[in-house]
């Protein structure tokens, strides 16, 4: 590995930034550079930024943006580093890493949490659950609050409390020109609209403010695993059950392979299986009652759905998605889950190239669907299901097979698709225009023109400003 700083930067120039920030600056000549460069998705490791700035606070973010602009460096912004498309790293540019800014403060009386721009969901759940409160967060606790919320935020409580972006009530944002502004319903409301689904296009969020709700500490949640040949019956039941389910439950069907967990009989490990994963947050025995039909659809291989602390369900799947795997996701919003699509999904499942090539069918609706289309930048509200072909693998030689498999899965679903997609579930860049739909995209472009007309923040599902040379 060579140890050069990008040619545009001399050590004296970097020294100016070292003196201007409280946080740490890591360049290729510093120990720890390789670790500072690492992102969650190993498929995007190997990029060589000129420097990584680990920000200690908003002032460091302002200094880093100014430094990048002054030196003509591309900017990659990193929250939790989970971008599947690899947006939080770059070559010869600056990574503005907010991970040291992960503090969470809860105001139990106001039911509000202020959350640092580099926090992950484990940080939020830990602090909020101490008060019996919570808000919609990711299915994996190491996912960053920032990228997740700014893209929308699908989670176990979304049908009851809304998406993460629906619970975002305020944000401190460093703009492309270095100004720090606040966005809320009463201040820069247009910016808040864009932060609720429009990704990192408009600035760097240094602090989020979320509304909280009474939640847990115990919910009724977890997976039931079935043999793969039950996948069709499971999906048909799921389709018919989902529209009548109350907001208190959110479920996913996952066509996958059995992970090597002690709760699953060993002879099933690595074999193709179908799973229902559900979380019910309502009172008493409601959860058990709601999932009763799924206990009759086929003989389960393992049934781990039951009372469980909310913080446990929030971390239950973490070991299956560790930092350092190669990953690729491709997704589409579904207007229907008809028999034809179900058959196709079953076929694609059986053709999966590895044990972690998974088809996730998310149940949408509830509070997500009651927010008016266009009220936030989140692409679409009315779809009953979201399909995500999520693949992870260890061997770099398996990359093409997994990517092609995920693309085929989504291509095969095109007749049932609304034509739009959730941007956070897309492993390819340049997908914004088609994902948001024409009306929302046009509004996002106007906002981009206002807040970032020269496209300083372009490493994201990019909303290109009207001046296309920008």
Interface positions with ligand FAD (CB under 6 A): 40, 77-84, 87-88, 98, 117, 138-140, 143-144, 146-148, 150-155, 199-200, 204-205, 321, 424, 459-460
Question: Could you tell me which of 219, 73, 35, 10 has the C-alpha nearest to residue 132?
Answer: 219
| 172, β-bridge pairs | 182, 207
Three-class DSSP category at 250: strand
User: Among residues 235 and 252, whose Cβ is nearest to ligand FAD?
Assistant: 252
Burial of residue 372 (CB within 10 Å: 0-12, 13-18, 19+) is exposed
Cis amide prior to 217 (ω within 30 degrees):
yes
CB 311 within 8 A of CB 156: no
The CB-of-213 to ligand FAD minimum distance in angstroms stands at 18
**Rounded least distance, CB 377 to ligand FAD, Å:** 13
H or E stretch covering 88: none
As measured in angstroms, the least distance from the Cβ of 232 to ligand FAD is 25
Instruction: Give 57: exposed, middle or buried? Use CB within 10 Å, 0-12, 13-18, 19+.
Output: middle
Asked if 410 and 361 count as a contact pair (C-beta separation under 8 A), the reply is no
- Least distance from C-beta 414 to ligand FAD, angstroms? 22
205 vs 348, beta carbon nearer ligand FAD:
205
Helix (H), strand (E), coil (C) string for 418-438? CCCCCHHHCCCCCCHHHHHCH
Name the nearest CA neighbour of 425 among 201, 77, 162, 151.
151
- The least distance separating ligand FAD from the CB of residue 153, rounded to whole angstroms, comes to 5
Among residues 340, 339, 416, which one has the least CA distance to residue 384? 416
The smaller minimum CB distance to ligand FAD, of residues 70 and 319, is found at 319
Residues in the chain: 470
Which residues make Cβ contacts (< 8 Å) with residue 35, sequence separation at least 6?
none
Considering beta carbons, is residue 150 or 280 the nearer one to ligand FAD? Answer: 150
- Minimum CB separation of residue 260 from ligand FAD in Å reads 18
Q: 98 vs 305, which CB is nearer to ligand FAD?
A: 98
Q: How far apart are CA 458 and CA 2, in angstroms?
A: 27
Smallest gap from residue 169 Cβ to ligand FAD (A) = 16
Smallest distance, Å, CB 279 to ligand FAD? Answer: 12
Task: Rank residues 79 and 259 by Cβ distance to ligand FAD and give the closer one.
Answer: 79
The conformation of residue 225, written as its DSSP 8-state character, comes to E
Least distance (Å) between residue 443 CB and ligand FAD? 19
Shortest distance in whole angstroms from residue 144 CB to ligand FAD: 2
Nearer to ligand FAD, 139 or 345 (CB): 139
Decide the pairing of beta strands 306-309 and 249-257: unpaired
From the CB of residue 343, how many other CB atoms can be counted at a distance below 10 Å?
13
Chain centre distance of CA 230: 29
Residue among 28 and 153 whose Cβ is closer to ligand FAD: 153
Considering the complex, state which of residue 297 and residue 445 has its C-beta at the smaller distance from ligand FAD. 445
Residue 241 vs residues 237, 293, 323, 352: alpha-carbon distances, Å: 6, 9, 35, 27
Instruction: Return the number of the residue (276 or 298) whose C-beta is nearest ligand FAD.
Output: 276
């Amino acid at each position: 590995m060579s140890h050069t700083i990008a040619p545009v930067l001399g050590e004296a120039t970097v020294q100016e930034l070292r003196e201007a920030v409280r946080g740490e600056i890591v360049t290729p000549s510093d120990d720890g550079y390789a670790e500072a460069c690492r992102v969650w998705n190993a498929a995007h490791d190997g990029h060589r930024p000129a420097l990584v700035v680990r920000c200690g606070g908003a002032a460091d973010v302002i200094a880093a943006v100014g430094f990048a602009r002054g030196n003509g460096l591309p900017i990659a912004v990193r929250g939790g580093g989970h971008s599947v498309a690899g947006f939080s790293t770059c070559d010869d540019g600056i990574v503005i890493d907010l991970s040291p800014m992960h503090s969470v403060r809860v105001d139990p009386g106001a039911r509000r949490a202020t959350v640092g721009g580099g926090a992950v969901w484990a940080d939020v759940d830990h602090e909020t659950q101490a008060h019996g409160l919570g808000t919609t967060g990711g299915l994996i606790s190491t996912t960053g609050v920032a990228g997740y919320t700014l893209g929308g935020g699908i989670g176990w409580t979304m049908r009851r409390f809304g998406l993460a972006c629906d619970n975002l009530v305020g944000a401190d944002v460093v703009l492309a020109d270095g100004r720090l502004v606040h966005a809320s319903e009463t201040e820069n409301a247009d910016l808040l609209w864009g932060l609720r689904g429009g990704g990192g296009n408009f600035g760097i969020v240094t602090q989020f403010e979320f509304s909280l709700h009474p939640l847990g500490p115990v919910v009724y949640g977890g997976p039931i695993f079935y043999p793969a040949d039950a996948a069709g019956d499971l999906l048909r039941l799921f389709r018919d059950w989902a529209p009548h389910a109350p907001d208190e439950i959110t479920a996913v069907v996952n066509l996958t392979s059995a992970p090597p967990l002690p709760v699953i009989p060993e002879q099933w490990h690595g074999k193709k299986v179908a799973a229902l994963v559900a979380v019910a947050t309502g009172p008493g025995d409601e959860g058990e009652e709601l999932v009763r039909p799924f206990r009759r659809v086929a003989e389960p291989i393992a049934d781990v759905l039951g009372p469980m602390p909310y913080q446990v369900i929030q971390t239950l799947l973490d070991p299956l998605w560790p930092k350092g795997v190669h990953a690729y996701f491709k997704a589409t919003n579904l207007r229907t889950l008809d028999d034809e699509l179900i058959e196709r999904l079953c076929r694609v499942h059986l053709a999966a190239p590895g044990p972690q090539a998974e088809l996730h069918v998310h149940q949408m609706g509830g509070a997500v669907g009651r927010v008016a289309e266009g009220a936030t930048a989140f692409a679409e509200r009315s779809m009953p299901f979201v399909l995500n072909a999520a693949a992870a693998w260890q061997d770099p030689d398996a990359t093409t097979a997994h990517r092609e498999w995920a693309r085929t899965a989504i291509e095969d679903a095109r007749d049932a698709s609304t034509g739009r997609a959730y941007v956070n579930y897309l492993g390819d860049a340049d997908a914004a225009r088609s994902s948001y739909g024409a009306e929302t995209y046009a509004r996002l472009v106007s906002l981009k023109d206002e807040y970032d007309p020269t496209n300083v923040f372009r490493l994201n599902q990019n909303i290109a400003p009207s001046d296309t040379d920008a």
